[in-house]
Every structure is written in structure tokens, then in C-alpha cells.
Structure 1
């Protein structure tokens, strides 16, 4: 079962967005890396998810995407494509995880993430 493990707020003014969410909701905003500011939305004891604010890329300049954790990103991409999704960013490798971005059949942007520990 794919579980939502984070979110990504995309903006062409990520610094302004980070300031807004920090001031209005008290989110803890970390130092940026690759135009991406990690955010903590609350204490781990309470339900909720953390995420980040990033400078939106050309294929997704602004909006919100959820990150769905999967056991196998390759299998999830294949299954999503077979059910009408479009891949906008194929599997990318980072130090601890793989990430891909898709658009579902109704136009919603999602991220797929696989921890390198799960494979």
C-alpha cells in the first residue's frame, strides 16, 4: 500500500512561501538545498506529515504534490502508466532514495519515493 509520507509546495518565490508558512502556521523551515526548503509541520507525537517548499520546475511551476512511498518505484511507475498516468520526471537517484514525478489521469501531480533501504 502506498502511503503519503510528505508533501511538496512549489512556488516561483519559495523564500516568500517559506516565510509565510513559518509565520502563519509555525512550521520549522530548514536550510535550502537545491532550491528546496525542508519543513517540519509539528511534533512527531501528533498525527501529520512533513514536507518541503521548493522552487517549482518548468513542468510544475506552482502547486502542491503529495509524496507517496512505494516499495518499488519501477513497478509503481509501470503500473501508474498502465492506468493512464504520465511521467513528467523519470526516476531520479538521491543519496537515500529514488524519486519520480507523475501526473495522474485526472491531471493531479504526485511524487513517488522509494527508500534505498526498502529494495
Structure 2
């Protein structure tokens, strides 16, 4: 069965987005040659997927606009600490922390670039 192997983050300000994701999740970024493209490493242990970041082409997402792409959710060990980190570096709540029975605690946020993402602390 096909599985996702790569994700991409589009950013109006790639340096600002890089600081956000380094601070919140500890991800690392490496520019790919002299291209406006950065390889994102999310970790080396357990299941997961790595990605890339590039400058956004076109307008930023509207804060109240509909979701127009996939929402990537990242599992975290401590949801409350992650929420504090996100809000401390400019992230904005979209769906406050709520319990999903049999799954865990989930919240949705927008990053500094207006991109929607989820965080999950499993039960």
C-alpha cells in the first residue's frame, strides 16, 4: 500500500518558519545546494517522515479560509509544553486542545506562515 514519504512546508519567510519548527519540534534544516529549498529532518528514530521547505508562490493562506491541503499531525510527548512553545514563537490556535477517546489529546495550530498543522499526545 502506498505511504507518504515526504512533506513540504511553504513559507513567505523561510528563515522565520525554520526558527519556528526548530524551536517547537527540534527539527533540523539544511539548504539543498544553492536552491531556495531546505531539507527538513524530523528525527531518526521510529516511524516518521522527513520533508522540505520552500518559498510560497502566491498569497498567504487566509486566517479564516478553508483547509486546502493535507493537515500533518506530529505526535509530541507533552501537549501542554508543546502548546506553550508554539504560542511562545508566534503560532496561533485553530482548534484548542481536546480529547479524542481512544486516541489522545489533539490540537490544531497555524505556524508563523499561516500553515495549519496538528499536534497529538497519545493516550
From the two aligned structures, give the one with the greater strand fraction.
Answer: 1
Normalised TM-score (structure 1):
0.46
Normalised TM-score (structure 2):
0.45
